[in-house]
Structure 1
């Protein structure tokens, strides 16, 4: 009873049998429908080389092409409108990358590179290696022998710096981990670097990520044997192609990644994620464009940029490729729902293929394959979607990988062969000694060639790997190919191995957020002597005004003022600077019915809720955006509002609102430079409120009238362009520039400073047309300065209360 006959194999190699032993297949819809829609070019192709490069969905390329054909993206180092659009979109992408790995800008910085190899090289070049001295030992460069060539190549940078190179086998780290050796408290600060693969690109073995902290804390070998400060570079390129990486659980100091392995597109782009805690040790010598805060060309004087990303991104980064990442993330999550789903899907296919392939036998009972894996595909937490093996003929001889590759090409099956830029794992699994490696070179074999056997011994192997768009049909056709071309008939299978097939359990983690509320008492304030003539609320940032006779004052300003904003397809905030038609959107707040109405000429009126019940939060996707350099957490308002805006503005748009669980503070420091308690903000630019003086506007109107060949604008048209919350009268022109505070009703407002204006005041709020006025007249009157109005806020203690403001 060891084997069953060939008809049993064909029954096993069926989708029905696969579903019996693995339930996590696909992403909710029919996988064939998704392939027909997104991967039509792959018809007739069995692509099983996803560890080298996965495939991109066609909607990704269409979306990206539409983006760059509609928008002007300038060099992010400039400050014009197109450049700001590029910079803001790139910052949005950085946030999405960190969010993807469950971390934040406060913990990690994203440094864009040309790929994972460039990221590894950068980390090695700026790491502060120390040579040995009489009083202190020198730095150690350690790496797991199961590491990519790009990691081992760091040796070339450290060899002439007096750094000790120490290769470590996975077993050495594992054995010491089981021994639970505790490292002594480090008394010296010599920096050491350990390079640790999250997943072997050779075998798909996932190494314990808990070892990262163990190495940093000197509990594991070799850190426990060498004093100093140990940093860990986690090579995550192979892992993150099909698996999630949570940097909260695994706080590596440096994490190089490659994006085409995750998305398929764009290529030539990677990143080094640097833990901000470790960024201060890095020592950079060369400085390129954009990396300096200041330098002198005539003296050896240079001050590096304060921002970690700016400091290490020499010159102009590949910004169009970075913008493409926004579409890559969008497509990946839209199609699959996230990396956890991808991990379950791909592991199931790999595991099933492994079990059948490893169970195949020739008619004489000899095994068909020699599998190279440290485990038995028991769990997606210990094994990725990679199979590595060699085929064996019925006499027990290895079949060269080049022969397998040639035959696979006849069936249009794409696999990878060789050593996969991982000589350490290749030697370990194939049993090739260092002496034999040298002899193979003398025999003419070099990395990447087709010499697969030397003296009958393999020089490499075959690797099959899966991606999120892989199907059971890929597995089935590959297994049938192996049986048809390399198995001596009749086909038999090892029944004992097949008994190891079992279903896996998918665990779901839930997160909860606790919300606390604080209330404060309110002091009575005196009235001021002037008249408040208008109150304006702008519910949606950069859209039309909503005028009220009286209005509540909330914790962040006028209630619901700038609580929503419109973002483009890349998640970047739209303003009238780039899309003047925003002013044609006339939002109206209805407090009694708890709804925000969106109105525009020629469009149906739609509504979104003012307040979202706590239990509904989970159904509103949380995203991150940016306002005036500040990171803000927002919630998407749904497809109906997005479709309405997209139709009106003729470009992909979404309506988002500030998350109720997110608090943003004014950027305010005391005279001593220390942070002080500040007011909270909505999605406004700088302050809670903006006040303008009607007399000051009328004076600018006179300046405009005196300018030749320019149509006269009425006072209300000009006032609307300045988009203030409060309009006051009874004041001399620009008298407000000298105020320190003002009192409206029983509310005391602190004046934060003059509001410096931009070209947005040139947008006629009734038509959306752009003019050069009143900005030119402002500049003429103020001798080049363009300020108008005062930014104000309520004291933080008062701003947590709810008032109602009336005209008086």
Structure 2
């Protein structure tokens, strides 16, 4: 290693402070010139600290320039049309095989859109129906691997899971496998399938691949599926000459950063017979393909069932035209990054940065001696460089050892322009393993409103995911320092009072000397309005008091959605963005005997529409003391909608909305499970993006936003369920995810009668620009644009936010009431 007295760049000076440490050896792998290269070639990063190489690699200007130079100086067309392109495509296959130290003598390359499509193709072609079999997958497998069990289930195969460290034992002893369905059958040569990651995308833990030959030759004669999407990110780590996996899947954007939408399925030739085209509904032998496309058949007749697949497995499985422009650039991508160092040097550089991050993270403690972070993986092993990839997965803990919700860490990271990953990373098995979550816990979390990809990091005090930072070729020691600065923010915090929240509450509520151990319940504001949106996209039903569902949403909220399509075509939801006149629909509640009716009207329609609530719904309103003015049965020009099952439609309602919106083939449909929530687009089982939540906006924030942008900002634009009067604007913007709140009908009653927690912020879209009074008028001024450029805009790439989503916490009485005048309180 060059002397540390050299004039290093500022980022490298960070590591020189630790040159006398006994654990300094990993620094000899650090490529100092990466810092200068990054400043020159990755200027598009700006001030962003990129710590998500497990999600995607970064690309440099040099890589893009090389790709552009190749494409702009060549006349390369579709390989199905151009002999030159076809030859270059074949050379690209050889390049990929050479990257992973093998040749056409033993392997074939099938280009795909990525590792996920590679797995899907394998699942579609694998002989699941041949005499039955067994499919086992490692517990620390990506969701895309778990998806293969659907093929196994359909074909009545046995399937189950195993711990990654037990992989070598499966050659002769299957007792370590945990069967989910069925039992392991007697040996069926060449059929049983075993899947595992080369490197966990969750923890970075690497699999011992030395046992693969024994697995292939053991009694079960396993066919081996290697998910190398993460392992292949470390140059030289995937050596197929020494790794006898039958099927290997990779994604090139994880290796080079560019191009996206390109991956490969690498096949051993002796496993190719497993994927020979066959009709699974016919005899056991080959009888023709299930599906074929352009470029993958040798001969086909349009006037009979005659079709012959191409003999080359690559050509047969690559349906249609491949991503040939991206494939052609792989050679220059590889050449560009190799100019920065050999495969081994580049791989070790990422490991060096990651190991330094581990060492400095592991040293952080609270003042009471408790560790700040619980770190997963093999970082502390003597052979850490062989056992561990450049990924640091961890769970943060408060000073009392309780977990910090990962959503809060993500928010603090975004504020510091640090890009990292939180959650389970599409690896449910790893989450269950490291966080000690059972199947019943996962089911309970989902019933409580937890869904994959959200920022709800805690449920009943238990972590639902972790924080992951990962490193790559362009990572530097300065990135490590910025990461440590973020972690230091959490030192000596307790869950009842994050510093930023305590400071905000003190300023807002005039608290004196707030302390961590005794944070009082504090009245924040009062409920000013309660609104239900029975029909998605239409105006609200304004009420003074209204029952809540046991799930935590308002009764009848987003119960109906207008859909476009016929019984023969796929139904598509109609939103206010597509049909602005929906926002002009006014909804009121009327009584008719012992039943209730929703009355819909619009200034753009001469008639009214009645939606008669079911007997069950009417009984719920009656039991909760909801009153309504009687329906005027003498009026003329009304259409009637009788509620029907979720898969049925009503002609009168359809006609009414078709006339209002000037659209054809409309259906008013009821949610399939009766749940509700907030959001701008329907989910699969209900009509909300964030089911089982309430959307709250602050009247003070609305006023301040109007002052900032110089525009009128009516509350109707933000379609909230609850409007609360606050004294200070934007108080809610500092609330961390998981903050406990209470709603009570008397101020300062402890505990609050209705318990909620902050579930996140509401990301806004163009719907806020629609004026319900005149939806077709264009003022030329966009509230969304003003929101995005104001001080309340979000750091999230998903868009600006306004309003807070509240989710039920704990257990309630069956149907509590939400009322205007209730006090909103912070709870310890």
The structural deviation recorded for 1:211 is: 2.5
Structure 2 equivalent of residue 304 of structure 1: 309
The one-character-per-residue Cα deviations of 1:53-98 (angstroms, maximum 9, x if unpaired) are 01001111112112222222211111xxxx2232222222111111
Structure 1 equivalent of residue 320 of structure 2: 315
For 1:442 and 1:18, the matched residues in 2 are separated by: 52
- What TM-score, normalized to structure 1? 0.54
- Which of 189, 204, 229 matches 1:237? 229
Structure 1 equivalent of residue 39 of structure 2: 36
- Is 1:345 aligned to residue 338 of structure 2? no
What SS class does the counterpart of residue 381 from structure 1 fall into? helix
- Which of 154, 162, 165 matches 2:148? 154
For 1:39 and 1:177, the matched residues in 2 are separated by: 47
Tell which deviates more after alignment, 407-416 or 35-44.
Answer: 35-44
Number of equivalent positions: 461
The structural deviation recorded for 1:258 is: 0.2
Alignment of 1:545-564 (within 5 A): none
Structure 1 equivalent of residue 376 of structure 2: 372
The structural deviation recorded for 1:297 is: 2.7
What SS class does the counterpart of residue 40 from structure 2 fall into? helix
Alignment of 1:265-414 (within 5 A): 265-284=258-277, 285=289, 286-338=291-343, 340-374=344-378, 376-378=380-382, 379-414=384-419
The one-character-per-residue Cα deviations of 1:126-155 (angstroms, maximum 9, x if unpaired) are 1111354xxxxx211111111000000011
For 1:364 and 1:190, the matched residues in 2 are separated by: 57
Q: Does the 8 Å contact 1:98/1:104 carry over to 2?
A: yes
The structural deviation recorded for 1:268 is: 0.6
For 2:90 and 2:212, the matched residues in 1 are separated by: 28
The structural deviation recorded for 1:252 is: 0.6
Q: Does the 8 Å contact 1:139/1:190 carry over to 2?
A: no
Q: Does the 8 Å contact 2:29/2:352 carry over to 1?
A: no
Task: Note closer, same or farther for the CA distance 1:404–1:72 as it changes in structure 2 (3 Å cut).
Answer: same
Task: Note closer, same or farther for the CA distance 1:13–1:436 as it changes in structure 2 (3 Å cut).
Answer: farther
The one-character-per-residue Cα deviations of 1:660-708 (angstroms, maximum 9, x if unpaired) are xxxxxxxxxxxxxxxxxxxxxxxxxxxxxxxxxxxxxxxxxxxxxxxxx
The one-character-per-residue Cα deviations of 1:592-635 (angstroms, maximum 9, x if unpaired) are xxxxxxxxxxxxxxxxxxxxxxxxxxxxxxxxxxxxxxxxxxxx
The one-character-per-residue Cα deviations of 1:343-376 (angstroms, maximum 9, x if unpaired) are 2111121122112212211111111011122552
- Is 1:203 aligned to residue 203 of structure 2? yes
The structural deviation recorded for 1:170 is: 2.2
- Is 1:191 aligned to residue 191 of structure 2? yes
For 1:268 and 1:463, the matched residues in 2 are separated by: 23
Task: Note closer, same or farther for the CA distance 1:18–1:152 as it changes in structure 2 (3 Å cut).
Answer: farther
- Is 1:15 aligned to residue 16 of structure 2? yes
For 1:468 and 1:53, the matched residues in 2 are separated by: 12
For 1:250 and 1:482, the matched residues in 2 are separated by: 39
What SS class does the counterpart of residue 311 from structure 1 fall into? helix
The structural deviation recorded for 1:52 is: 0.3
Structure 2 equivalent of residue 731 of structure 1: none
What SS class does the counterpart of residue 398 from structure 1 fall into? coil
- Which of 243, 246, 257 matches 2:239? 246
Q: Does the 8 Å contact 1:350/1:386 carry over to 2?
A: yes
The structural deviation recorded for 1:33 is: 1.7
The structural deviation recorded for 1:293 is: 1.8
- Is 1:215 aligned to residue 207 of structure 2? no
Task: Note closer, same or farther for the CA distance 1:43–1:336 as it changes in structure 2 (3 Å cut).
Answer: farther
What SS class does the counterpart of residue 467 from structure 2 fall into? strand
Task: Note closer, same or farther for the CA distance 1:25–1:263 as it changes in structure 2 (3 Å cut).
Answer: farther
For 1:105 and 1:321, the matched residues in 2 are separated by: 21
Structure 2 equivalent of residue 498 of structure 1: none
Q: Does the 8 Å contact 1:351/1:377 carry over to 2?
A: no
The structural deviation recorded for 1:174 is: 4.8
The structural deviation recorded for 1:488 is: 5.8
Alignment of 1:158-197 (within 5 A): 158-174=152-168, 188-189=188-189, 191-197=191-197
For 2:91 and 2:378, the matched residues in 1 are separated by: 40
What SS class does the counterpart of residue 195 from structure 2 fall into? strand
Structure 2 equivalent of residue 554 of structure 1: none
CA RMSD of aligned residues (A): 2.8
- Is 1:103 aligned to residue 107 of structure 2? no
Q: Does the 8 Å contact 1:27/1:336 carry over to 2?
A: no
Alignment of 1:792-803 (within 5 A): none
Q: Does the 8 Å contact 1:15/1:472 carry over to 2?
A: no
- Is 1:461 aligned to residue 466 of structure 2? yes
- Is 1:121 aligned to residue 120 of structure 2? yes
Q: Stretches of 4+ moved more than 6 A in 1?
A: 177-181
Alignment of 1:737-776 (within 5 A): none
The structural deviation recorded for 1:43 is: 3.5
Structure 1 equivalent of residue 71 of structure 2: 68
Structure 2 equivalent of residue 259 of structure 1: 252
Which structure exhibits the higher relative contact order, with contacts defined as CA atoms closer than 8 Å and separated by 6 or more residues? Answer: 1
Task: Note closer, same or farther for the CA distance 1:62–1:187 as it changes in structure 2 (3 Å cut).
Answer: closer
Task: Note closer, same or farther for the CA distance 1:26–1:62 as it changes in structure 2 (3 Å cut).
Answer: farther
Larger radius of gyration: 1
What SS class does the counterpart of residue 159 from structure 1 fall into? helix
Alignment of 1:519-530 (within 5 A): none
What SS class does the counterpart of residue 336 from structure 1 fall into? coil
Alignment of 1:77-96 (within 5 A): 77-78=80-81, 83-96=82-95
- Is 1:438 aligned to residue 443 of structure 2? yes
Structure 1 equivalent of residue 554 of structure 2: none
For 2:457 and 2:362, the matched residues in 1 are separated by: 21
The one-character-per-residue Cα deviations of 1:161-191 (angstroms, maximum 9, x if unpaired) are 121112122244355679899xxxx975361
Segments of structure 2 that go 5 or more residues without pairing to the other structure are 1-11, 176-185, 278-288, 495-828
What SS class does the counterpart of residue 387 from structure 1 fall into? strand
The structural deviation recorded for 1:13 is: 6.9
Alignment of 1:363-762 (within 5 A): 363-374=367-378, 376-378=380-382, 379-487=384-492
The structural deviation recorded for 1:24 is: 5.0
The structural deviation recorded for 1:334 is: 1.5
The structural deviation recorded for 1:156 is: 1.6
